[in-house]
Amino acid sequence: MLYLVGVVAFALAILLSVSLHEAGHMITAKRFGMKVSRYFVGFGPTVFSFRRGETEYGLKAIPLGGFCKIVGMTPQDDDVDPADEPRAMWRFPVWKRTVVMVGGVAMNFVLAIVTLWIAAIFMGLPNPDFPTTEAQARQEPAVISIADCVVVENAARACAPGDPASPAAQHLRDGDRITAINGTPVANWGEMLQVVRATPPGLATVSYVRDGTAGSTQFNLASVQRAPLDGNAETTTTVSAMGVGLDIQTPNMLTYGPIDAVGATADYTGDMAVATVQAMARIPEKVPALWDAITGAERDMDTPISVVGASRLGGEAVQHGLWEIFVMLFISLNFFLGAFNLVPLLPLDGGHIAIAWFERARSWIYARLGKPDPGRVDYFKLMPLTYAVILIGGAFTLLTVTADVINPITLIPR
């Protein structure tokens, strides 16, 4: 039940983001005096609508987005009433048209940034110092968690019947910080691994700190097969093991006060902006991996997801009480929507902005050359490219939706 609630909640969050995006266009257009004839949430058949002033507002049956109709977005629009000609969007100065087209993107970015600021105060933001690689983890204090067993062979797997018990289980506790092995001091997890592996299997003296009090104990180290810590993963040797894991002490999330949250939000916004652009640049190379996921291969966690996949992840996050993941997914979605819509291709907002400024630059150059203004760009001549973008975008959307249905990315391994 919680999973379904999460799926629906995230789908509504997506709808909210898209609807506010369109509201950004509508509000700025109205502010400048352009005529907005329609603003609808959803697509397809109309569920209900009402008219307020000159604009029709309504809800459509398919909740997969929204739209607003600004009269005369291009000079080629043929549905402009003669009485509305002076208010056609294309007649307005280029900077006003730019503001209107950026208004939707700005809504997504503002929504993401405000949500980040609130999250920084009440939930926390990811700690940039949290170890995300093996090398970083080895710099953590050697605070341990007791393993259930020792896997003798060099394999990353869960405990199985017949595996020997952890040697440390009867002598150490979760949260103990190891300080020395046979008198050799260790400052962090990486040093502890090196010293333990260099110690012959058998009896060893282990020094530790527990609740601020130093202590020591003796027990037999297990004999296991492991690859070198910094070497060829295909080569294994016989080394010692204590049967413990790393209990990372660096907090994963950091909370801030309202003032400090401003700086943290700014830093994280910059990181997300870079990550979003990099992820968008990698999309073409991820298409083969998406196809492989559909045809039976393991789903690459780094492949793009659709609104279906995002909603499923949102459902999982709610199901397992991982609200921070739900919120970060929502923030990431708005960053992506904002950045993607700035791509300078029709029918995206960035395409309209690029054309407006191309017209302005071309007119300026012609004026300097003493030539007559060439006028507006003929959108009809750009339709083949526009249709190609729509076709490619539709095919990619279908590919990601199919992958998210057949072989979805999950938070908890299946």
Q: Say yes or no to pLDDT of 75 above 90.
A: no
d(CA 257, CA 118): 10
Q: What is the pLDDT of residue 2?
A: 85
Q: Between the CA of residue 223 and those of 144, 170, 220, 257, what are the distances in Å?
A: 19, 17, 9, 50
Q: Between the CA of residue 368 and those of 93, 344, 360, 365, 372, what are the distances in Å?
A: 20, 26, 13, 5, 10
Residues near 263 by beta carbon (within 8 Å), at least 6 away in sequence: none
DSSP-assigned letter for residue 379: G
pLDDT tens-digit profile of 193-225? 999 999 999 999 999 999 999 999 999 999 999
Q: Which CATH architecture has domain 134-246?
A: Roll (2.30)
Q: What is the pLDDT of residue 227?
A: 87
pLDDT tens-digit profile of 295-342? 888 888 888 888 888 999 998 999 888 888 899 999 999 999 999 999
- pLDDT band for position 414 (50/70/90)? low
Do 60 and 77 form a contact (C-beta atoms < 8 A)? no
Mean pLDDT value of segment 378-398 = 90
Per-domain residue ranges of the chain: 2-122+324-406, 134-246
- pLDDT band for position 232 (50/70/90)? low
- pLDDT band for position 129 (50/70/90)? confident
Residues near 269 by beta carbon (within 8 Å), at least 6 away in sequence: 112, 113, 116
Q: State if pTM tops 0.85.
A: no
Q: What is the pLDDT of residue 413?
A: 62
d(CA 207, CA 217): 7
324 is catalytic: no
Q: What is the pLDDT of residue 135?
A: 86
- How high is the mean pLDDT of the chain? 90
Q: Say yes or no to pLDDT of 74 above 90.
A: no
pLDDT tens-digit profile of 3-19? 888 888 998 898 899 99
Q: What is the pLDDT of residue 411?
A: 82
